[in-house]
Amino acid sequence: MNFHFTHPIWLFALVPALAWVVWLAVKSDVQTAKWRRWTSGTIRVLVLLAIVLAIAGIQWLRPIEGMNVFFLLDRSDSIPSAQQDAAKEQVNKFAAKMERVDKGGVIAFGSEAAIEFNPNTAVKVEKIQAVVNTERTDLSAAIRLGTAGFPETGQKRLVLMSDGNENIGAAIDALAAARSLGVTLDVVPVGVARMNDLSVQKLGLPSNLKKGTAFEAKIFVQADHPTDAKVRLYRNDQYLGEQDVRLDSGKNLLTFPQKLTEPGFYNYDVRVEAKDDVLPQNNRASAFTFVRGEPRLLLVSSEADGDATLSSALKSMKMEVRTITPGQFPTSLAELQDYDSIFLCNINGGDLGRDNQKLIESAVRDFGVGLVCVGGDQSFAAGGYRNTPLETVLPVSMELDSKKVLPSGAVVLVMHGMEFANGNQVARDCAQGVLAALAPQDQMGVILWDGTEHWVFPLSKVGDKKDMSSKIAGMNQGDMVSFQGVLEKSHDALKKATSNLKHVIVFSDGDPGAPSDSLLQAMAKDKITISSVLISGHFPPDTMIRMADLGKGRFYHVTDASQLPQIFLKETAVILKSAIYEEPFKPVMRANSEVVRGIGANEYPQLLGYVATTPKPRAETPLWTHQGDPLLAHWQYGLGRAVAFTSDAKPRWAKTWLAWEKYKQFWVQTAQWSLRRTENADFATDVSLEKGEGIINVEALDARGDYRNFLNLQAIVVSPKGERVVLPVRQSGPGHYEAKFPTKEAGTYAVNVVEMDGAKVVAQQTAGASINYSPEFSVPEPNYNLLRRLAEAGGGKVLDLKNPLDNPFLHDRVKTFQPRDLWEWLLRFAVILFVLDVGFRRIQIEREDAQKMLATAKSVVLFWRPKQKVMKSDESLSALLARRDAVRAETTKPVEERPELFQPTAPVNLPLPGNEPTPEPAKPASEGTPHTGEQKPGPASGMASLLEAKRRAQKKK
């Protein structure tokens, strides 16, 4: 038997402890029998031995048979599809040699790892169902997941099937941790070498420039052989020119002299083409730079003519004002850095989109850009801002005071099963978005067809939304046959509703049967509007268009599922108009602030309407409406400032304001308060992206060129997906500071380095860098060196697929052991022995008592021992009857026939008168003549027994 100790150091305490116990047993002054002393000492030694072994963590290593193998399949972009299919087939070939006690599992990995199936005795890979990001290769993630997924028993082996082009993580470190747990690693190289490949490694630009400064755009190109190529350069999507170059084998540096004379944001794009290049994905790179000048303002408006007066007032600040529509909104955070403030003029949340709202939130919070939201009938709660990033940034909330009674809206969603990838989940997400945008007093219902027409939940008040949200998450709609039934149910429910605004949104691919015109006309008569959303329609859109026309709603023809959430949000806003107050009122000034400085409380003209909101706790609210709702509110949000004006700046509600002499002053002061406040820092920031991480380098010099040391610098990094991380930038040399951040996605990483003075931001500088394509395309061949190192470090081998013995289930099989902890049993044993030792030392048992106990034990054993012969029941009964008859015959004889009854049991001597014998003293029973009959002991014999017991006790003592 094999044993193992988890804490073997405790074994060193065993020898001195045993020596002490033996010495105590020998030198003890306790007066007891020798055999009792040594028995007690032996028990104590056993107790001590059990306790020490338990503390040392003794384990029994039970032999276990079987091999557990996890196959790690590389699914990244660098592995061609044919190679991925071949890897699956190779797994099946390996599994065909499994023994009955073996188990196999599969893990797919790219940027992350996922278990396709856990180890089991049957392995058959037909199609990989696990979904992983394929833009990166993280070998360490696969190794860690495989190590954690093994069963507790059996030999453990990983089989890595990859090209070894690791561009994130550290496989060697993960393998070292796996080896400590008894895991080995085999390698099967996959992938192909690409010939005649060139790639653009980087486009280098200064992150910040002064107006008119000359610089060079540096292009780094990697080629695996000498070749002729054509280089084209673009700036802000405008073609600048091209150049024919000769590329040498290896790294090449190309430069384009540039000069920017106007302030703004500039995005450069370079493309390199060669005749024999086999992979165009890695032939492009982009970068951006800023030229700082006067503040710039971005005005987003869906009605440029209506906002012309506002635009003119802002331009009087001698700053550049750019007016765009929601569809022209910048698509990257880097582009938004070109502006110091953003004006949103009556913009619907659905038109802006959630992604753009997240850009605005990050620009304000992380980069100090200002935001001014001007109201209207498409803004705030009426524009679907509730539970959006835009609501988070603004100083007002879309949830109204419970004491405020407003008309409610009611909406019914008609959900149809979609025949595109993940269609029903997209529909569930859209329904959840509608629910999130509604107020608690609004009503909502969802109806679908899944074999029958029924409500997921009937039209009812939204309330706290938890129950409705869970039901939406569980709905699974089918392919509807006809619109007639679901619209009839929707009509009946909405007709009974007391809401002021009633709306139906039909989500379908357009193939169900059309509803009757009479039904649509009846719904319109009951003031129920209908909008239809056609997604991936494979039928003519006539039915969907007719429903929207007769229902006095809108028709959407959507070809991209990503457009659906903002469409549903925009349609939800139809029933949110109940938050609008359209009645004349005069603004009430309750406090003073920098925004309204110089304007008296009685100078504000009348307004004709606004959207009801609730001020947030930290917001400053100088202007209020006659209903006690905020009209003007502002606050600091992160590094930036945000303003909310709940009326509009157009003729609809601000008709009298347009002619107000202080109209321009009001909006100029609002814009100036919102502008980016922090000064540009005088340090130089550079961001580079290498091997799965970004590196921020900061050089800090003062005006005299001396190093600036011990600065408190922080970097705010925003990924292409909008994920934000704040990092300390630590000093690594004189005037040099550095920080690193992970880069998993391809795209632009925006970086803002801020200088802190306590809790105050005193300066900032914006920079960034772009990952132009997946790093999977940057290396033209498998990394065989890394694969061999992993096999050696993992105690395995690089498998030769031509050798049938190079099978992970066959080679180098060893017997493994499963540890079984014994400490609990040892402690139980020690407790029992301890009790036995105490009883043995404290309880004195004499030889006679021991004999009695032994006799008692024997009697018990004999009592329970089965008799050798068992009499039959009739024989036993006849014997008992015969014995009864014999006893009765004996006792019923006449007296004269039984002379023994009158015979004495002992001779009787009757003394003659005068000759009575002198009585002799009584003798002990042991000395007298034995009696043939029973004799009751007299008083003398009782006293003798007591004296004898006393003598025995004194002898023991």
Given a cut of 60, whether residue 533 has pLDDT beyond it is: yes
Given a cut of 60, whether residue 365 has pLDDT beyond it is: yes
pLDDT tens, residue by residue, 197-229 = 888 988 988 888 888 888 999 999 988 889 999
Identify any residues that bridge with 72 across adjacent strands, giving them in sequence order.
107, 160
The vertex-860 CA angle with 855 and 862, nearest 5°, equals 90
CA distance 790 to 171: 8
CA distance 24 to 838: 15
Q: Which helix (H) or strand (E) holds 620?
A: strand 620-624
**How much is the average pLDDT of 649-656?**
92
Residue 402 is predicted with a pLDDT of 53
Residue 475, Cβ density class (10 Å: 0-12 exposed, 13-18 middle, ≥19 buried): middle
pLDDT tens, residue by residue, 118-143 = 999 888 888 898 889 888 899 999 99
CA distance 392 to 408: 23
Residue with tokens 């009122």: 585
Given a cut of 90, whether residue 52 has pLDDT beyond it is: no
Residue 713 is predicted with a pLDDT of 93
CA distance 126 to 884: 91
Residue 894, Cβ density class (10 Å: 0-12 exposed, 13-18 middle, ≥19 buried): exposed
DSSP state of 931: P
pLDDT tens, residue by residue, 476-492 = 888 888 999 999 999 99
- For 423, the token pair is 């269609």
CA distance 131 to 113: 9
The vertex-575 CA angle with 635 and 469, nearest 5°, equals 80
Q: Supply φ then ψ for residue 667, to 5 degrees.
A: -75, -30
CA distance 708 to 702: 6
- For 79, the token pair is 């592995």
The CA-based diameter of the chain, rounded to the nearest angstrom, is 169
Q: Supply φ then ψ for residue 472, to 5 degrees.
A: -65, -40
Residues 6+ apart with CB under 8 A from 526: 491, 494, 495, 502
CB-side neighbour CA atoms (13 Å) of 324: 15
Q: What is the number of residues in the chain?
A: 957
Residues 6+ apart with CB under 8 A from 613: 380, 381, 396, 397, 398, 400, 579, 629, 630, 644, 646
Given a cut of 80, whether residue 902 has pLDDT beyond it is: no
pLDDT tens, residue by residue, 323-352 = 999 989 998 888 898 899 999 999 998 888
Intra-chain end-to-end CA distance of the chain, in Å: 50
pTM of the model: 0.68
What is the 3-state composition of the chain as percent helix, strand, coil, each rounded to the nearest 5? 30, 30, 40
**How much is the average pLDDT of 71-86?**
92
pLDDT tens, residue by residue, 379-413 = 998 888 988 999 999 999 988 765 555 667 899 99
- Average pLDDT of the chain to the nearest whole number: 84
**How much is the average pLDDT of 829-842?**
81
Residues 6+ apart with CB under 8 A from 706: none
Amino acid (1-letter code) at residue 913: P
**Alpha-carbon separation of residue 680 from 132, 195, 368, 806 (angstroms):** 41, 47, 11, 63
> How, if at all, do strands 724-733 and 713-718 pair?
antiparallel
**How much is the average pLDDT of 651-660?**
93
3-state SS, one letter per residue, for 673-741: HHCCCCEECCCEEEEEEECCEEEEEEECECCCCCECCCCCEEEEEECCCCCEEEEEEEEEECCEEEEEE
Residue with tokens 């003659």: 912
Confidence of residue 761 (pLDDT cuts 50, 70, 90): confident
Query: How many C-beta atoms surround the C-beta of residue 934 within 10 A?
Result: 6
pLDDT tens, residue by residue, 241-267 = 889 999 998 899 999 899 998 888 888
